[in-house]
Amino acid sequence: MWAITGIIVTASFIAMIEVPPLLRAKLKGELWLFSILLLLGTVLSIAKSLQLAIPNPLDMLWTIFQPFSDWLYSFLK
Q: Is 57 left (phi over 0), alpha (psi -120 to 50) or beta?
A: alpha
Q: Where are the domains of the chain?
A: 2-76
pLDDT at residue 55, rounded to an integer: 87
- 38 pLDDT more than 90: yes
For 40-64, the pLDDT digits (tens) are 999 999 999 999 998 888 988 999 9
Contacts of 15 (CB under 8 A, 6+ apart): 35, 38
Percent of the chain with pLDDT over 90: 65
- Find the helix packing angle between 2-24 and 28-49, rounded to 10°: 170
For 17-29, the pLDDT digits (tens) are 999 998 889 888 8
- Per-residue CA distances from 21 to 35, 39, 77 (Å): 13, 18, 58
